[in-house]
Amino acid sequence: MTVRIGVIGTGMIGRDHTRRIQQVLAGAEVVALSDYNPDAARAVQADLAPAAQVYEKGEDLIAAPEVDAILVCSTGATHEPYVLAAIAAGKPVFCEKPLATTADGAKRIVDAEAAFGRRLVQVGFMRRYDAGYVALKAAVDSQIGAPIMVHAAHRNPTVPEHYLTPMAIHDTLIHEIDVLRWLLNDDYVSARVLFPRKAARSHGKLRDPQVVVLETAKGVLIDVEIFVNCHYGYDIQCEIVGEDGIAKLPEPMAIQMRLDAKLQNPILTDWKDRFVDSYDVELNDFIKAAAQGTAAGPSSWDGYVAAITSDACVAAQEADGEAVAISLPARPALYN
């Protein structure tokens, strides 16, 4: 079966996912496109999907009989209504992060999907599909013993002026929030945020770097350094300390050089290059599940937990180093 996909939001990631479906992956084709800016949708149609129909409204694309499954790649604030409409239509939907911009919005999606009674939503937490994180999870599950501590870092070379302190949580830490919970098979119970002195390259409205300390229900202590003006490169680090040993996320493959009297390995500078393969694998997972009329991978529940945790971390940014409690409601049976 070829899954007929409609893409809502044809900006940077919507265009890239359309390219994946049309040129890289098997089992699906893009038959419909929609964007708030119709010229953006028509440009993607011309470049990548000439047979696709362009819809002015995302709601009409979701309802279209030729569309079997939907990709929501529009700006974050628009995700919730589109995902709810897809659930109401009984169609599998892949939603880029965030699932919703508020925890209440994410809860409405969880409730709608649980009431529908079958998984339809996959959230775009692509790190779970990265080969390095998959290998790290295997080591955590079977080799290093019960986890005790995690040391992680998320570093970007620079960010624009419109990137403000809470975005370090909602836009950046959100990936660590999901992937660490998945690696540890655990949930968070509290968050603290500590700020060292502000880095010289940090612009006026941004407190950078910062350290987020998360505690889990099983008593694991996690520190994540977020440093988005680190200057030297895009660098994701993760080390898990267990009872019997330590497992570390592998570095991206790079040619080691002996050059100019130095032994050197290049470091990536663009985040798109770091996880490029994982986007292929996550969408392949979506296509396979959508062909069966369902969804796999990171769920609405995972998106909801990430939203609750993000809100607690943003509150902790304002709490002078005090811990902010994180409590989750009961998990619906659909997500067990």
Residue 113 vs 282, nearer CB to ligand NAP: 282
Contacts of 70 (CB under 8 A, 6+ apart): 5, 6, 7, 8, 61, 62, 82, 86, 91, 92, 93, 94
Nearer to ligand NAP, 91 or 97 (CB): 97
User: Helix, strand, or coil here: 137?
Assistant: helix
CA distance 17 to 3: 14
Min dist. Cβ of residue 13 to ligand NAP (A): 4
287, 3 Cβ separation under 8 angstroms = yes
DSSP assigned state of 126: G
Of 152 and 220, the one with the shorter C-beta distance to ligand NAP is 152
* Structure tokens given for 9: 């939001």
CB-nearer residue toward ligand NAP: 38 or 293: 38
Distances (CA, A) of 249 to 37, 88, 130, 329: 40, 40, 10, 31
CB of 188 to ligand NAP, least distance (A): 20
Q: Which is nearer to ligand NAP, 56 or 318 (CB)?
A: 56
Using Cβ positions, the residue closest to ligand NAP within the complex turns out to be 11
Any idea of the CA torsion for 156, 157, 158, 163, to the nearest 10 degrees? 0
Query: Which lies closer to ligand NAP via its Cβ, residue 12 or residue 325?
Result: 12
CB of 122 to ligand NAP, least distance (A): 12
Cβ atoms of 73 and 58 closer than 8 Å = no
CA nearest to 103, candidates 315, 248, 264: 315
Closest to 249 (Cα-Cα) out of 124, 131, 125, 129: 131
In angstroms, give the least distance from the CB of 192 to ligand NAP.
Answer: 25
Query: Which of 54/144 has CB closer to ligand NAP?
Result: 54
Alpha-carbon gap, residue 70 to 95, rounded angstroms: 8
For residue 172, the 8-state DSSP code is I
Binding site for ligand NAP (CB under 6 A): 8-14, 34-37, 40, 58, 73-76, 78, 96-97, 124, 126
At which residue do the structure tokens 């830490």 appear?
A: 173
Q: How far is the CB of 313 from ligand NAP (least distance, A)?
A: 17
Q: Which residue has the tokens 């940077």?
A: 12
| Least distance from ligand NAP to the Cβ atom of residue 33, Å | 10
> What is the nearest approach in angstroms of ligand NAP to the Cβ of residue 145?
31
Instruction: State which residue, 8 or 214, has the beta carbon closest to ligand NAP.
Output: 8
Q: How far is the CB of 335 from ligand NAP (least distance, A)?
A: 21
